[in-house]
């Protein structure tokens, strides 16, 4: 796990390096802190390296497998992986999926969880890299996987927000209600990332580092984009009118721009579904 820091390194951090658990190495103009990870506490042997955190056809069935006699290890590993998500957006979706099975894990769930560990083993050098930029801009990507959950048909929201080419916020979670059509699921994701962007704008303003450009959110669903800018409340969208008006208000006041991005270039796609190796590597 790697975390990049800005150039304003204070001398107090030296004490952290002297503890022996952190190593400072140079990557261009910015230093990166690497955390040394101990792998002998859970007695798991990573015999092979995998290059995606989840099989692209995985559904994590609750019926195709044997119930684990003791779920303590599963829950412990799943909980630990949630900390990794703080700096590894590429495993966010996979971790979200295995954490949904913590109450009754079976063998296939443990296989999926160990696959994430093998992926991390092969990508241990990955981390956040902060690049210098002359423009302080917020760019968000919102996506949804409609009716993904086989058991309750709730959709999955996925979004990420970039600040000057660096991801600073990301999320993958199951929506709280069932969406009746794709545009509704996409719009709920659009509302979620809009809320996050609004908070980031407030934070940057407080830090006197406000964005130089109007924040823009990219979405690959044309219907959701039209609804965001259309003042007419369509009958099909009345039940999501709170989310609808929240986004529309930001767009109408010029505080937000919602644009369309091709599905093949949609960064948030990695947060809503398991992808093949070729598609996963693209992001």
Q: What angle do CA 270, 131, 119 make, to 5 degrees?
A: 35
| 157 shares its domain with 267 | yes
- Beta 257-260 vs 216-219: how paired, if at all? parallel
What does pTM read for this prediction? 0.75
Q: How confident is the model at residue 263 (pLDDT cuts 50, 70, 90)?
A: confident
In a domain, 215, yes or no: yes
| 30 shares its domain with 47 | no
Q: Please classify residue 132 by burial: count the beta carbons closer than 10 Å to its beta carbon, then call 0-12 exposed, 13-18 middle and 19+ buried.
A: exposed
- Give residue 9's pLDDT: 46
Q: How does DSSP assign 35-52, residue by residue?
A: E----TTTT----S--SS
- Tell me the C-alpha distance between 270 and 275, whole Å: 7
- Give residue 35's pLDDT: 39
pLDDT (tens digit per residue) in 118-128 = 999 888 888 88
Domain that holds residue 167: 138-282
> Which range has the worst mean pLDDT, 13-27, 42-56, 181-195?
13-27
Any idea what DSSP says for residue 131? P
Please report, rounded to a whole number, the percentage of residues in the chain having pLDDT higher than 90.
29
In a domain, 105, yes or no: yes
3-state SS class at 235: helix
| 45 shares its domain with 76 | yes
In a domain, 133, yes or no: no
pLDDT (tens digit per residue) in 56-91 = 877 788 777 889 988 999 999 999 999 999 989 999
In a domain, 132, yes or no: no
233 Cβ partners below 8 Å, 6+ apart?
241, 244
Tally of domains in the chain: 3
Any idea what DSSP says for residue 102? T
- Average pLDDT of the chain, as a whole number: 78
- Give residue 62's pLDDT: 78
**Distance, CA of 35 to chain centre:** 21
Asked if the model's pLDDT at residue 197 lies above 70, the reply is yes
Average pLDDT over residues 102-120: 92
């Amino acid at each position: 796990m790697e975390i990049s820091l800005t150039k304003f390194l204070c001398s107090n951090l030296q004490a952290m390096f002297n503890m022996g658990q952190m190593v400072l190495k140079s990557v261009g103009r910015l230093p990166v802190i690497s955390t040394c990870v101990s792998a002998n506490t859970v007695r798991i042997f990573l015999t092979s390296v995998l290059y995606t955190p989840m099989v692209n056809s995985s559904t994590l069935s609750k019926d195709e497998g044997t119930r684990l006699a003791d779920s303590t290890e599963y829950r412990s590993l799943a909980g630990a992986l949630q900390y990794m998500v703080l700096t590894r957006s590429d495993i966010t979706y996979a971790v979200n999926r295995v954490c949904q099975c913590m109450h009754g894990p079976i063998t296939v769930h443990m296989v999926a969880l160990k696959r994430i560990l093998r992926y991390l083993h092969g990508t241990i050098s990955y981390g956040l890299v902060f690049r210098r930029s002359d423009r302080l801009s917020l760019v968000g990507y919102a996506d949804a996987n409609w009716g993904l959950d086989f058991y309750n048909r709730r959709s999955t929201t996925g979004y990420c927000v970039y600040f000057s080419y660096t991801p600073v916020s990301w999320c993958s979670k199951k929506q709280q209600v069932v969406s009746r059509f794709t545009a509704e699921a996409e719009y709920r994701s659009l509302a979620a990332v809009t809320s996050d962007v609004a908070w980031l704008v407030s934070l940057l303003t407080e830090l006197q580092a406000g964005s130089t450009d109007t924040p823009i959110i990219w979405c690959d669903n044309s219907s959701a984009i039209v609804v965001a800018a259309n003042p007419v409340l369509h009958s099909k969208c009345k039940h999501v009118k709170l989310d609808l008006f929240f986004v529309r208000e930001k767009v109408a006041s010029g505080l937000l721009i919602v644009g369309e991005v091709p599905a093949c270039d949609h960064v948030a796609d990695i947060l809503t579904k398991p992808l093949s190796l070729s598609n996963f590597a693209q992001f």
